[in-house]
Structure 1
Amino acid sequence: MNAKTLIGIAAVIILGVVGYVWFGQSGQQQALDDGTTKVGFVYVGPVGDGGWTYEHDKGRQAVEKEFGDKVETVFVESVPEGPDSERVMTQMALEGADLIFTTSFGYMDPTINVAKEFPNVKFEHATGYKTADNVSVYSARFYEGRAVQGHIAGNMTKSNIIGYIGSYPIPEVIRGINSAYIHAKKVNPDVEFKIVWAYTWFDPAKEADAATVLIEQGADVILQHTDSTAPQAAAQEAGNVVTFGQASDMSEYAPFPRVSSIIDDWAPYYIARTQAVMDGTWESANTWDGIREGMVAIGEISDAVPADVKEEALALKAAMAAGEYHPFTGPLKKQDGSDWLGDGDVADDGTLAGMNFYVEGLEGEIPQ
């Protein structure tokens, strides 16, 4: 091999490395050059799940509608929590994303890891608690919606058995179970909760099986913290079983079995955070909003719910929106009978954020 050939090969290698740096790690510069802000979304389920991911994608579409050609959005759906999510985030950053929303609890550590490698990219992680200079966290106070659901459920059950499909035993899910139980118990002291852990966010087959098991155990009301409409379909097939939409309205099953829902409205937050990146005002923050701010909405309560129960549920919603009532207000004890909140005391956000216990009256252990 002569000297000219060696020089040529070296030149190709150098150009290749430079090209990688320019088009890969410096992809943000391209976005800045054409004035477009690139926003990425990483989804744990498919955009057509009818629940969690469906609502996040509605938020993405709202960003596009708000900013038009000033923004470009990209998304990857059905990304497993773990190493694969880190690969997806890295690829988005390399391809020039200025802002990346990672929309599931299990993406927390991967988000932090990738953010260290791309300090000029802004990251927003849903439902987690770890932040960095370029990582914010955001979540909704879903437990407020669970309080409304619990009130309706406690009034509507005839068997006094309410089934609850849990996804994973993390504080977010445990808070929801506790809140629903507290408010069902207030209106129906005889109510009993049966909990099935599906160990998935989205798996229609597992969710349907969980609903069927609960119905076979006597539950005539099913609540869920999983993302598909499969429990609604199982309840519809069984007949006379009440359900509630999760994360999205799931109104295709209204007016029965779906009698109401918790709706997650991410659009205002996504628009505001994208605007902050555009303005250069983005800062790391920890946002936890609820009914008052509109991040949590209560879907239409159908006429299958008695008028007086509907009126009470809407009054409960209004009280939370006004800041006049908190779902975790004492007196409350923990499952083991120990005191937790005194009469009139309200749970602090720190305890709620790390909640790892059931309240008094709930049966069974929280899986480890």
Structure 2
Amino acid sequence: MLKKGWLLVLSVFMVLAVACSNKEEASPSASSSEAASSEPAASSASASPAASPSASASEKPLPKVAFVYIGVPGDGGWTYQHDLGRLEMEKEFGIQSTVVENVPEGPDAERVFENLAQENDIIIGTSFGYMDSMVAVAAKHPNKIFLHNTGYKTADNLGTYMGREYQSGYLVGMTAGKMTKNKKIGYVAAFPIPEVIYTINAFTLGAQSVNPDIEVSVVWSNTWYDPAVERQAAVSLLDKGVDVLAAYQDSPASIQAAGEKNVWGIGNDSDMSKYAPETYLTNPVWDWGPYYIDTVKKYMDGTWKSEAYWGHMNTGITDIAPFGKNVPQDVRDLVEAKKKEIVDGTFEVFTGPITDQAGKVHGEAGKPLADEEVLSTNWFVKGVTGTIPQ
């Protein structure tokens, strides 16, 4: 769980993510299993609570829950994983939630959240750029619960939630480090915000743990989901001769481009093996279902409280996807052994001393960096080639 002291530190860096607002018109959709397919649903449906066999007389009725997505579940990545979590929650309680897709980050988002707050008890926003809109709407509806994914502003009725993806990023980096032959790895990055930066750092540290001379070249796409732009960025790295390519976006465009060049590829958010089965390695993945289920349970028994949640890998909120079919067994065994150390708490990814690109040393020898320092990361570790736009 996060300390609230890091909020002001983050604000300087996180505002850069607002650039990801180039999305389509907001598109409400009905909640159903079809929402997790490549075709978005077409109409809106308000939650209709059903009787729960586990509910007791002392509990609140089942809540009406609404989700706001930056894209569509058909992205195969970020939104897809949130939708799987939503469906898991629906199945657990026998309810139907409301989904609004393709909501741009900006003024229009506030209108969407306001409309949802009129009819729902729990309102969930799944992209960083919704933060100010959610803060404003939450203030108008103190009796409703708001959850913001990846944000840093909280209120009595507004909580934030995220997982420590840098832990899975480190394991994926180890895989890349074992598979590279020329020690040149490419990384297509989304936006220069701490979430992306510290994940790249963890990836690089993981790769260097098995191959100290590795170089990770970073190119910024400034997108969350734009396959054409992301493919172009991927090709620019492939043209430089990288023999492993990773990405931090929602689309599989980068690993598809890598597969076409017979280069090892690493996706993001969801298992992307199907997009390049011969050259796929693995990637960080999310499982939001247990968090959503826990939130509903706490709402019903009256124990929900606002918090800044940053889930550890041992909760299952973050993990790595199954290894690609061509990853050798010795590599799998090595990575799984390190995963066990992370899960049981005997290994911390960001343990000092850590040297950055400029030669500055971060952290004390043998001591993990404080959460506040990780969450405000604005530097690359030594071995990363590329700059962080200001």
Q: In the alignment, what sits opposite 2:99?
A: 75
1:360 to 346, 364, 382: 382
Instruction: Pick one of 149, 156, 179 that aligns with 1:156.
Output: 179
Q: Render the CA deviation track for 1:308-351: whole Å, top value 9, x for unaligned.
A: 22111111111000001011112212221122123212111111
Partner in structure 1 of residue 24 of structure 2:
none
2:10 matched residue in structure 1: none
Taking the aligned partners of 2:218 and 2:361, their CA distance within structure 1 comes to: 24
| 1:338 aligned residue | 360
Q: In structure 1, what is the equivalent of residue 113 of structure 2?
A: 89
Name which of 92, 103, 106 aligns with 2:126. Answer: 103
Structure 1: which 5+ residue stretches go unaligned?
1-27
CA distance, structure 2, for counterparts of residue 348 and residue 35 of structure 1 = 40
Under a length normalisation based on structure 2, what TM-score does the superposition of the two structures give? 0.82
Q: CA deviation at 1:191?
A: 1.4
Pair 1:189-2:215 in alignment? no
Q: Are 2:264 and 1:238 equivalent residues in the alignment? A: no
Task: Tell me the matched-pair count.
Answer: 335
- The higher radius of gyration belongs to 1
Partner of 1:46: 72
Secondary structure (helix, strand or coil) at the match of 2:212 reads coil
Deviation at 1:357, TM superposition (A): 1.1
Deviation at 1:98, TM superposition (A): 0.4
* Alignment check: 8 A CA contact 1:36 1:72 kept: no
Q: 1:271-286 counterparts in 2 under 5 A?
A: 271-286=293-308
Q: Secondary structure at the match of 2:72?
A: coil
Tell me which of 334, 347, 350 is aligned to 1:312.
334
Output one character per residue of 1:194-224: Cα deviation in whole Å (capped at 9) or x when no partner: 1111111111111111111111111111111
Q: Which runs of 5+ in 2 are unaligned?
A: 1-45, 51-59
Q: Which amino acid in the other structure matches residue 52 of structure 1?
A: W
Specify the code of the residue in structure 2 equivalent to 1:360.
K
1:64 is aligned, of 67, 78, 90, to 90
CA distance in 2, matches of 1:198, 1:227: 12
RMSD (Å) for aligned C-alpha atoms: 1.9
Residues 315 and 255 (structure 1), Cα distance of their counterparts in 2 relative to 1, 3 Å cut: farther
Amino acid at match of 1:64: E
1:328 corresponds to which letter in structure 2? F
In the aligned structure 2, how far is the partner of 1:169 from the partner of 1:87? 28
Distance 1:160 1:334 in 2: 19
Identity %: 44
**Between structures 1 and 2, the one with greater helix share:** 1
SS of the counterpart of 2:230? helix
Q: Which moved more, 1:300-309 or 1:192-201?
A: 300-309
Deviations 1:254-275 (Å, cap 9, x if unpaired)?
6432221211000000011012
SS in structure 1 at match of 2:171: helix
1:63 maps to a residue whose letter is M
The whole-number CA distance in structure 2 between the counterparts of 1:276 and 1:35 is 12
1:55 corresponds to:
81
Partner residue of 1:221? Answer: 244
Measured in 2, the distance between the counterparts of 1:201 and 1:147 equals 21
Deviation by residue 1:120-168 (Cα, 9 ceiling, x = unmatched): 1100011111100000010011100110111111111122211111111
What CA distance in whole angstroms lies between the structure 1 residues aligned with 2:189 and 2:271? 18
Provide the residue aligned with 2:371 in structure 1.
Answer: 349
Contact 2:247 2:266 (8 Å CA) reproduced:
yes
Aligned partners of 1:242 and 1:157: how far apart in 2?
Answer: 8
Deviations 1:65-102 (A, max 9, x none): 0111xx330111121111121121111112x1100111
How far 1:280 sits from its partner (Å)?
A: 2.3
Counterpart CA distance in 1 for 2:224 and 2:124 is: 18
Q: Is the 8 A contact 1:330 1:343 kept in 2?
A: yes
TM-score by structure 1 length?
Answer: 0.87
Offset from partner CA, 1:168-187 (integer Å, 9 cap, x none): 11110001110111121222
CA distance in 2, matches of 1:352, 1:81: 25
**Map of 2:150 onto structure 1:** 127
SS of corresponding position for 1:146: helix
